[in-house]
């Protein structure tokens, strides 16, 4: 399939701004230009209360957004880790998506503003995210959450963090996750290493940019074998929770997500996978311009509701 006209129009709009690739701009400039319109992901719906607590993580006090849908509960829950290559973005940028998913899945969604690289390399962002899961579990009663219906989710680098957190929860045995939602995750730097990688340039996130982002997150080659940093490095995927995963057809990370899906399925994990035809990396965040960024929420919610009803 060819690229969707709305996705191409969004890319053309971005190109007209003349901004450099993130690998050339660097972290400071990328953050400075990353505060886009609040409704970039689509309209901000009502019917959900947003609270903004802090909790003390392993190395810092961390802000949360807690989205609670109207109604008596008890609720399901998802702990969400936002994308941005471990370097950019922030939790308020996800209000539209997470309000919608909170309503569609009757879930309290806890989104954590984890510390960013390169100032805070692995394992700090991962540790922050795992601590947010622990905080959610510890406060399940106060949040009116069913403790056996808690999942994790994330997009792009957040999908990496969700994958790492799910592996750690399995390994440590202290938390049993109900599911993981992985939105075009970046789970292995090897998938953007080769010069022949598809969709390397011209579709938003570039191969050069993704390689640079991995360099910001990892401390060096020693981290490439750590499964919580690089989930593709895990020795086993057995025992992971049911998984909802998507890739985008015109995304430099597409083969990464396809390979991770295969590893999960081969290990006997219940996997719902969809390759989003005509879509680009990040489309989940561009609902104001790309209709599928809003429509895909129904797919996520339908699969999450299916899993939680089993």
Q: Which residues does the annotation mark as catalytic?
A: 156, 251, 281
The Cα–Cα gap between 151 and 132 comes to 12
On whether the CB atoms of residues 86 and 116 are closer than 8 A, the answer is yes
User: Can you say how many angstroms the Cα of residue 114 is from the centroid of all Cα atoms in its chain?
Assistant: 12
Q: What is the CA radius of gyration of the chain?
A: 18
The Cα–Cα gap between 204 and 17 comes to 13
Q: CA nearest 253: which of 180, 204, 294?
A: 204
On whether the CB atoms of residues 248 and 254 are closer than 8 A, the answer is yes
Cβ neighbours of 66 (radius 10 Å)? 20
The Cα–Cα gap between 242 and 244 comes to 7
The Cα–Cα gap between 185 and 117 comes to 17
- Evaluate the CA torsion angle 64, 70, 72, 77 in order and state its sign: negative
The Cα–Cα gap between 223 and 226 comes to 5
């Amino acid at each position: 399939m060819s690229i969707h006209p709305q996705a191409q129009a969004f890319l053309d709009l971005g190109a007209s701004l003349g901004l450099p690739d993130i690998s050339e701009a660097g972290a400071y400039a990328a953050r400075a230009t990353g505060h886009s319109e609040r409704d970039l992901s689509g309209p901000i719906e009502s019917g959900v209360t947003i609270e903004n607590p802090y909790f003390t993580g392993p190395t810092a006090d961390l802000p949360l957004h807690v989205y609670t849908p109207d109604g008596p509960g008890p609720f399901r829950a998802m702990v969400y880790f936002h994308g941005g290559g471990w370097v950019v973005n922030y939790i308020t940028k996800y209000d539209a998506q997470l309000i919608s998913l909170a309503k569609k899945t009757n879930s309290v969604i806890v989104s954590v503003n984890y510390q960013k690289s390169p100032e805070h390399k692995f394992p700090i962002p991962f540790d922050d995210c795992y601590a947010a899961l622990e905080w959610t579990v510890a406060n399940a009663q106060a949040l009116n959450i069913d403790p056996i219906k808690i999942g994790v989710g994330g997009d792009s680098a957040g999908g990496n963090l969700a994958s790492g957190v799910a592996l750690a929860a399995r390994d440590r045995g202290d938390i049993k996750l109900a599911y993981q939602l992985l939105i075009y995750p970046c789970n292995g730097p090897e998938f953007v290493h080769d010069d022949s990688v598809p969709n390397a340039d011209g579709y938003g996130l570039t191969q050069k940019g993704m390689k640079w982002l991995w360099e910001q997150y990892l401390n060096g080659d020693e981290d490439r074998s750590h499964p919580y940093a690089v989930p593709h490095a895990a020795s086993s995927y057995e025992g992971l929770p049911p998984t909802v995963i998507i890739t985008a057809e015109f995304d430099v990370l597409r083969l990464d997500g396809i390979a991770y899906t295969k590893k999960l399925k081969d290990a006997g994990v219940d996997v719902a996978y969809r390759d989003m035809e005509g879509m680009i990396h990040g489309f989940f965040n561009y609902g104001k311009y790309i209709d599928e960024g809003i429509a895909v929420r129904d797919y996520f919610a339908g699969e999450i509701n299916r899993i939680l009803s089993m």
